[in-house]
Amino acid sequence: MASRKPAANKTAARPTASKSAAADKRGSGDELHQSAGGAHPPLTTNQGIPVSDNQNSLRATPRGPTLLEDFVLREKITHFDHERIPERIVHARGSAAHGYFELTRSLQKYTTAKLLTEVGKRTPVFTRFSTVAGGAGSVDTPRDVRGFAVKFYTSEGNWDLVGNNIPVFFIQDAIKFPDVVHSVKMEPDRAFPQAGSAHDTFWDFISLTPEAMHMIMWAMSDRTIPRSLRTIEGFGVHSFRLLDAKGNSTFVKFHWRPKLGIQSTVWDEAVKLQAADNDFHRRDLFEAIESGGFPEWEFAVQLFTEKEADKFPFDHLDPTKLIPEELVPLTVIGRMVLDRWPDNFFAETEQVAFCPANIVPGIDFSNDPLLQGRLFSYLDTQLSRLGGPNFHQIPINAPKCPFANLQRDGHMQMQVPKGRVNYEPSSLQADTPRETPAGFRSHATPPDDGAKGRIRAESFADHYTQARLFFRSQTRPEQAHMASSLVFELSKVGTPHVREAIVGHLRHVDAGLAQRVADGLGLDALPPAPPAAVAPKDMKPSPALQIIGKMKDTLQGRCVGILVDDGSDATTIKALRKAVESAGATVKIVAPKLGGAKLGDGRKLPADGQLAGTPSVVFDAVAIVLSDAGGKALAKEAAAVDFVRDAYGHLKAIAADAGAQALLKAGNVGKDKGVVDASDTKAFIAAAKTRQWDREPKVRTLA
């Protein structure tokens, strides 16, 4: 690939003090900074040393590894890692479960890692899902990226695959991680908003960071408002290496694909879920495991060689880029099943410590500059958050295989090492641990051409092509949701030039998208597009990037609510329950009173939820079974009217009998193929397997 060369100058892919370089990286950023007023003091380290480049970490070559001597990077990230005690700075709000990974296809041709070569072997895992921006006490369902971190307790030591439900990231270099997180967190002078990106500081940072535009497309999509943690994909984000017995390397990207398929909410539904149940995702995961409906994911890999990578029209070491499945297909090699809830939330979910540097023989790192910084940052964070260097002795973090070394003492030391030898080499004790030829070996990666420096490779300079690919690969409803989410987010930004700058960037992504967002914001004219270091190109759309187009034709793992009251027909309820449960979903009965309802046959049906506290937003589809008197009574009850109005507005299937018609009328529920007679269970099940996307233009205005 021609762009693998080091940059001939620093204007192609990184900012410098020059006006032309700033234009390449930040568009009109210099002008915006000037408009904020006054000259800026020099940025320095905590020791007062002026910083010449705050955008790129120091690398041996433009595509080479990050260097430990980079004191600017180390100081910046070290300080950032220690800003919060003891809560995680990011990913504080999390839920986790125990389970196992089972290999179904060997990668022995590519790696010596036993968990990837021994078919049928089950490796214990602990998997934690999380939001990024909010604190530990925030809610489950904001628009946010979800962390997807898996700790494999292998026979060769712990392997932590620490990823997200998005395959790319906001930034290309770890030195910018404190900045992107600072920008999305609560604004420091006012301490709001919590767990939300719809505010000035975040979008100001994005407007000056074109490399983030691909991630922004994902963040504004329905991927960041998932229906359940059981229905999110997971990605390792970075390229890693697999090493065979001879040390030969194959690049790999890791993917998790949910057995239930991808499912998301609609925005209004996600907002109302925050009020209905702050713990919606955590409760859903807990109830699935408790009921025996164990969440499951396929584990898949994309494998490619250095020679193949050189032919890609992008740099796979750039963490703001993905490899389309049409270019490198996924190969499924195993599955993960989560089958046990933690015994104690604090001891396990809260104290678990993940670190991308935890890998096993046969797996190795790439020179991805974001990954290189993460290898340092995660370990440094745990020293502060968990009190010292012995956090690996906490049971949830400890390997399940034998381990031994000569590290001693330290805060919270729980082991009692014996003997007089605590160094190596030694000759005084026969049982002290020694290095082994079978131990971990790093790949002998040849150095790239180029001089050491704070410079980004030219191959990282294209910031818009894959953002365009993602948007143009979506279905029309998904594109409308992305445009609408951009309008919503930017409408919360009080600084006009920031809003306008984002719309300018969108012109590089898709002219139609930019116009829709501009119209939604009420802009009189489209702002100019900033200069692009590399002109965006058109790639072939990738249907694999959709949600709607990939939804599975199943009701497995979902939940249907049936609203009843005194006098409801028992036969209809029984038939609906049988059909729903036969399709693999669960049923919950909702009634005006928690004690339940006395049905038409005289029997008392207990309720799983009381109407005022169990709105339709917590269900995937609903059925309304009421007597004539019950329907008329509930038509005057606001909670019941909201129940059906929201189900219709959130595009869910609705089954209703004759007695429910008064309530549907009160909720202004229209007629379409998703609103069926309660006696037609076959039609209801078919409609409940998806959302009624054709209904959406009738119930809300989208950008």
Residue corresponding to tokens 């990184």: 14
Q: Taking a C-beta distance cutoff of 8 angstroms, is the pair 533, 462 a contact?
A: yes
Question: Minimal CA–CA distance to 195: which of 251, 238, 267, 146?
Answer: 146
Question: Using CA atoms, how far apart are residues 164 and 94, in angstroms rounded to an integer?
Answer: 13
The β-bridge partners of 59 are: 66, 453
Question: Minimal CA–CA distance to 432: which of 443, 442, 420?
Answer: 420
Q: Taking a C-beta distance cutoff of 8 angstroms, is the pair 140, 93 a contact?
A: yes
How many angstroms separate the first and last alpha carbons of the chain? 39
Residue 44's Cβ-count burial label (10 Å; 0-12, 13-18, 19+) is exposed
Question: Minimal CA–CA distance to 230: which of 142, 132, 146, 144?
Answer: 146
Strands 122-131 and 94-103 come out as antiparallel
Residue 5's Cβ-count burial label (10 Å; 0-12, 13-18, 19+) is middle
Residue corresponding to tokens 């499924």: 332
The β-bridge partners of 148 are: 129, 163
SS3 183: helix
Q: Taking a C-beta distance cutoff of 8 angstroms, is the pair 353, 382 a contact?
A: yes
Residues acting as catalytic residues: 91, 164
Question: Using CA atoms, how far apart are residues 202 and 389, in angstroms rounded to an integer?
Answer: 34
Q: Taking a C-beta distance cutoff of 8 angstroms, is the pair 200, 495 a contact?
A: yes
Q: What is the largest CA-CA distance in the chain?
A: 90
Q: Taking a C-beta distance cutoff of 8 angstroms, is the pair 29, 21 a contact?
A: no
Q: What is the DSSP letter of 69?
A: T
Question: Using CA atoms, how far apart are residues 683 and 626, in angstroms rounded to an integer?
Answer: 19
